Structure 1
Amino acid sequence: MQSFVQRLLTKGFGLPSGPLGRVGGRLMAHGNAATERHVVELAGPTEQEVVLVVGPGPGVGLEAAALRSAHVIGIDPSDVMLAMARRRCASLIDRGRLRLAVATAARTGEADASVDVVISVNNLQLWPDVPAGLTELHRVLRPGGRILLAAHEKWLPTDLATLTNALETAGFTSVRTRTWNPPTRMASTSALLSAVRV
């Protein structure tokens, strides 16, 4: 049985729901904003590239991606997070630059080789099955497509060497790892992983 604290963390951050999910979303919007914008900048999507944002939470990274690309998809298992993202990005949705869907890293609902860039910020540690998620993201990426993952270094589900191996096992190449310190006191050091689908 989950402890009270674990249930609070799940409802606030793991699979946000109810009032705690909305509070968690506001905290994520502030604490993750710099990292999300940094990862979008690193990914450098062009206007015509299709971008898949996994676990966008309240939508800060989605907004940044959809200002660069006219073809952005945000998937999240949390209705609360999708509602927050929908509010933040309403004008981009109305302009057809962004669509949202209930989905996960392991079950995106996207077609084979249909995406140019995959971005995920601070939710890798929440994926129930990291290898299954990476395999699915490899499937939806086009050859030459790129993936950028960021997670709080202290909350990584495993070490960077194991994550590198998991990316390679899923079929990715040119795996690079590094760290980044967001310019805000609310965020901790992020581990960044990037790779390419051949």
Structure 2
Amino acid sequence: MVLGPGPGVGLEAAARRCAHVIGVDPSDVMLAMARRRCAPLIARGRLRLAVGTAARTGEADTSVDVVISVNNLQLWPDVPAGLAELHRVLRPGGRMLLAAHEKWLPADLPTLANTVRAAGFTSVRTWTWEPPTRMASTAALLSAVRT
């Protein structure tokens, strides 16, 4: 599942590499853009788009293998509720990757890691990455596993 895929750039890349991908976004405008960009993948049944949020994905319990969220964590109104929902929809052993510009994080990485652990995730790992251009800010990443 790609959470908050926006216009679908990363969603398209994921759907080209995976058997089935779900894109969940609260914005009808972004879903329309993703639908246009990814129309062939949708037609082949490799991609499904759905209206939803981090806290309300609309997916069934333990139905998702991987959750990816890029540059939208800062938009979640309730981070603990979003993490609880992602924990619910991930299957045991499922993985989550959160990435955002460090300056946009709702808390520092150690605090975010503790919040992820409190939601029931294990193997929580954080790191930063410096993009190879001065135009982009430091990226903060967090990976975790649902046990």
The answer to whether the superposition gives a TM-score over 0.5 is yes
1:11-160 to 2 correspondence within 5 Å?
52-160=1-109
- Corresponding residue number in structure 2 for 1:166: 115
Runs of 4+ residues over 6 Å off in structure 1: none
Which structure 2 residue ranges, 5 or more long, are not aligned? Answer: none
| Cα RMSD after superposing both structures | 1.0
Distance 2:143 2:24 in 1: 19
Task: State the structure with more CA Rg.
Answer: 1
Distance 1:152 1:105 in 2: 18
**Cα 1:117–1:165 shift into 2, 3 Å:** same
Total equivalences in the alignment: 147
- Corresponding residue number in structure 2 for 1:8: none
Identity over aligned residues, as a percent? Answer: 85
Question: What is the Cα deviation at residue 182 of structure 1?
Answer: 2.9
Aligned residue type for 2:2: V
Distance 1:69 1:126 in 2: 26
Question: What is the Cα deviation at residue 161 of structure 1?
Answer: 1.2
Structure 1 or 2: larger strand share? Answer: 2
Structure 1 or 2: larger helix share? Answer: 1
Which structure 1 residue ranges, 5 or more long, are not aligned? Answer: 1-51
Aligned residue type for 2:115: A
CA-to-aligned-CA distance 1:77-131 (integer Å, 9 cap, x gap): 1111111111111111111000101100000000000000000000000000000
Question: What is the Cα deviation at residue 185 of structure 1?
Answer: 4.9
What's the TM-score, normalizing by structure 1?
0.72
Aligned residue type for 2:136: A
